[in-house]
Structure 1
Amino acid sequence: MVKVGEYNTLKVMRAVAFGLYLDDGGEGILLPKRFVPQDAKVGDELRVFVYHDSEDRLIATTQQPKGVVGDIVSLRAVTVTKQGAFLDWGLMKDIFVPKSKQLMGMREGANYIVKIYIDEQTGRVAATEKIEPFLSNDELTVKEHDAVDLLVYRRTDIGYVVIINNRHTGVLHFNDIYRNLSVGDKVKGFIKAIREENKIDVALGEKGYQRVEGESEKILRLLRENDGYLPYHDKSDPEEIYDFFGMSKKTFKMTVGKLYKERKIELTQTGIKLMEE
């Protein structure tokens, strides 16, 4: 059963001058020639994205859309009509947002956070700006310390409301942000705390020393690339540390402390120095 609006692994049935037909249990789905991988042949299995073309026929592509059915993503409006708006989702054919699925109307060039879904009447992939009904914290599918995907939803006085794994909402507080963020950004994070009434606090990166392990290798690599010395230490400005290392000062200090205990670096009055390997 081919799933529209999702990735499918389909076998090549036959080759024609204008592409390949993939097995869907019927006459086949066309993968146009311009998207056919080099050396692909009959009998091969290909991972493709399936959707409807402008003539309402199912078609396959090896292009990667910016989201699949069920995803909540930020997309740019490229055309606006009386019936609705078309958003760029990374494929040759833009995705449609009916007028009835918009909040306050859309304008060309602006970005909008939408959920991708299958329209029940047409069976086509479409998008809606009315995503609140799809978000709920009543029954959580995450727990504290879980790694999660985050989408920055809106800015508040205390931080950003984020969408967690396309289904829950949480708050990323300003004091846990160490990089520039904008509404619509997709980032990796973890569940920092679950409070009363299933309110969720999140943070960027990975939890605790699992994150430090990755940062350790990063600091060692930067030391090797800079002749074994870097002019950063526990008195350095947090913004300077973030600009160079891409991590918070707290994570930097934790990582440096770990590397020092492992005798991989030396601490000097002006920075850190790589021990001879």
Structure 2
Amino acid sequence: MEELLGRIITGKVTDENEQDYFVQVNGTTFRLDKAEIKKPLKMGANFKGFAYENEGHDLQITRNAPAVQVDHYGMGTVVRSQRTLGVFVNIGLPNKDIVVSLDDLPDIMELWPQQGDRLMIALREDAKHRLWGVLADGEIYQAIAQPAKKHMQNANVVATAYQLKLVGTRVMTDHFELGFIHPSEREREPRLGEELKARVIGVHEDGTLNLSLRPRTYEAIDDDAAMLLAALQHSADGKLDFSDKSDPAAIKAYFGISKGQFKRAIGHLLKDRQITQHDGALWLNNSEATTDDPAK
């Protein structure tokens, strides 16, 4: 069979049954679901559509061609993974998902795309006439990229990881700007194809972005303050034996944050008058005071 799969082809309608028409292309017959066709087709009529092999291993042709084709890149959504094979990607066909081989995926399986992640792929037909997904490389992303604007500094963006390297993660935003996330600007390494909520920390002259997955300072303070407030609320007497003079190692061991973060969280709660600080301890305002509370 000549190279027909994964492409838009034209053939002749040669037969039909209750459910399907049959379209022949150079001696190869494809099934065409009648549910797609609003007006009946005549025998001998030409039909143009996308050719593929469905999950039942039947050759099929559809007028609803996906964006992803041989030599045509488009986005697909990961639906599942198989350790010994790779990940299965939905490109819009009703009865066929496309496999991206494990050979093209990160060596660390935890960095493989998960269900719902998105990959930009094209199709490749192998010698056995099987269709595989081919990941877009950096040149493809460069070709479709749009330059970022200077006013994007400090803006929030949504981006998808498309290249994982030791030096950092390369991403493309939903508006097609290219971005880079240095390892110091993330808590963990993103998965391939993962959608990320990031903020712009730099706009280069070439129109690319530096991004961070870390919260802004005031957002980090809010998170740490909320954690500290919850700890006070769950303490027996609305008191914690910590203060801005406490040992950094003790703070890190108990709260999991640095002393600097701890002091900023205290300052935030003091400013909001949710706590007080005296006698080497933190006190929850409006709490049930104990006899150990000198303010009682």
- TM superposition score normalised by structure 2: 0.47
Larger radius of gyration: 2
- TM superposition score normalised by structure 1: 0.49
